[in-house]
Amino acid sequence: MDMPSAQTLLDAITRASRDEPDSGIISAVNHGIGRAGIIPVWSGEGNVPTPEAFCRPAIDSLLKGETFYTWQRGIPPLRAALARYHTRHYGRPFDAENFFVTGGGMQAIQTILQMIAGEGDEIVLPTPAWPNYAGPMRLSGARPVEVPLDFANGSWHLDLDRLFSAITPRSKAIVLNSPSNPLGWTASLDDLKAVRDECRKRGLWIVGDEVYSRFYYGKAGETRAPSFLDICDTEEQLLLANTFSKNWAMTGWRVGWLQAPKAVGAAIERIIQYNTSGTAAFLQQGCAVALDIGEDFVAEQVARARANRDLVAASLREHAQIRFELPRGAFYMFFAIAGMKDSLATTLRIIDEAGVGFAPGGTFGPGGEGFLRMCFLRDPAKLAEAMDRFGKWLRTSRPV
Ligand SMILES: Cc1ncc(COP(=O)(O)O)c(C=O)c1O
């Protein structure tokens, strides 16, 4: 038999999986990964490994033989720990039955999208946004309706009238990621109420992504950003995606959760069954402990992120051609370079010429071109070195 050509094979897969553009973050990573001396700030993760105290229960569970198929909704101790964690942070009782354990925040997002939108449906999404929203929407046949925030007078602004005028009879949901990756923009309680009221009025799902809620640089004593949980009932048309990745330094574990009204629990369970058939039980044991004993670690991470944010901001302010808003949440700096037209080409040049790996702003959708993103939850000495190299590059080179 003659082997089919690569083109024949590509013609035999769905158009959506063939034509979906690569995430520009991954394009940058693929270009620079493994290069000697590169300082990568392209991905959204810190540089410290998971603390031993969260790893130990996972190792013990594995050695105890917890190696079988498990609950589709997540192991009961983890769901109970999630309810306790929310009760502590949101000041009212939560029920374990509203929590579903997923393969990372990413599978929580996938599950949400699969459950609420299909071919021909629309989902309203403020941008610049993490590309892992629009990409999976398109893969499932749904259309992301992207509404750019404005960057004016050095700050990002969400025009709610513009957002709501993007709703059509095909709309199923508004997705709001706050604090935002990549902007650090953080919704006020009034913004959240307005989105809630519009969704209630139009019968839409409120989809909240609050994975960075603890990385919030608010007033002293504030330990999280404003949340839909401050103003919504858990049994209303509300779905929240969350993850262990960021707060507890567990990106490689691939464990997250989804919070949903109990009425759709069986549907979520089916989607999980037909996708991953559940998340490894031994990993979930480590996650449960992280929730219960991880507060000091989270506080340390947030303090480090705040100090790093200020370090990076001070360095960027030295360059007249750079504009940015000091982020109020998350752990990214999203900055514009005057004259930059092609953020991906510029990102690749900076990797080649300065040995610093940013992510291109254009990949975050409308409003993102002309910007670069960097993650600042990194080792401060490496960050200082990255800023130094980038500063020298800016003085001698031009963005494209
Ligand atoms: C806005 C946002 N949501 C969700 C996630 C999901 O993270 P993970 O799949 O690692 O749990 C990320 C990760 O970067 C993110 O930035």
Give the CA distances from residue 353 to residues 141, 284, 316, 339, in Å, rounded to whole numbers and listed in that order. Answer: 40, 42, 18, 18
Query: Which atom from ligand 1 is nearest to the alpha carbon of 104?
Result: 11
220: CB partners within 8 A, 6+ apart: none
Does the beta carbon of 324 sit less than 6 angstroms from any atom of ligand 1?
no
Q: Look up residue 171 and give its two tokens.
A: 């709309």
Query: Which atom from ligand 1 is nearest to the alpha carbon of 251?
Result: 10
Identify the band that residue 393 occupies on the pLDDT scale cut at 50, 70 and 90. very high
Q: Is the pLDDT of residue 29 over 90?
A: yes
Does the beta carbon of 102 sit less than 6 angstroms from any atom of ligand 1?
no
In what order do the strands lie in the sheet containing 238-243? 99-102, 256-259, 238-243, 205-209, 171-177, 122-127, 143-148
Does the beta carbon of 178 sit less than 6 angstroms from any atom of ligand 1?
no
Q: Is the pLDDT of residue 303 over 90?
A: yes
Return the percentage of the chain with pLDDT > 90, whole number: 95
Q: What is the pLDDT of residue 398?
A: 86
Asked if residue 356 lies in contact with residue 39, where contact means CB atoms within 8 angstroms, the answer is: yes
340: CB partners within 8 A, 6+ apart: 346, 370, 372, 399, 400
Of all protein residues, whose CA lies closest to atom 6 belonging to ligand 1? 105
Asked if residue 154 lies in contact with residue 122, where contact means CB atoms within 8 angstroms, the answer is: no
Identify the band that residue 322 occupies on the pLDDT scale cut at 50, 70 and 90. very high
Q: What is the pLDDT of residue 247?
A: 97
Give the C-alpha separation, 222 to 282, whole Å: 33
**Closest to 302 (Cα-Cα) out of 204, 376, 381:** 376
Does the beta carbon of 243 sit less than 6 angstroms from any atom of ligand 1?
yes
Please tell me the pTM assigned to this model.
0.96
Identify the band that residue 22 occupies on the pLDDT scale cut at 50, 70 and 90. confident
Identify the band that residue 71 occupies on the pLDDT scale cut at 50, 70 and 90. very high
Q: Is the pLDDT of residue 101 over 90?
A: yes
Q: How far is the CA of 106 from the centre of ligand 1 (A)?
A: 6
Q: Is the pLDDT of residue 21 over 90?
A: no
Q: Are strands 205-209 and 238-243 parallel, antiparallel or unpaired?
A: parallel
Q: Are strands 143-148 and 122-127 parallel, antiparallel or unpaired?
A: parallel
Q: What is the mean pLDDT of the chain?
A: 97
* Domain annotation for the chain: domains and CATH numbers: 6-49+296-396 (3.90.1150.10), 63-293 (3.40.640.10)
Asked if residue 132 lies in contact with residue 106, where contact means CB atoms within 8 angstroms, the answer is: yes
Q: What is the pLDDT of residue 235?
A: 98
Q: Using one digit for the tens of pLDDT, what is the confidence trace for 110-125? A: 999 999 999 999 999 9
Does the beta carbon of 245 sit less than 6 angstroms from any atom of ligand 1?
yes
Does the beta carbon of 209 sit less than 6 angstroms from any atom of ligand 1?
yes
Q: Using one digit for the tens of pLDDT, what is the confidence trace for 187-238? A: 999 999 999 999 999 999 999 999 999 999 999 889 999 999 999 999 999 9
Return the percentage of the chain with pLDDT > 70, whole number: 100
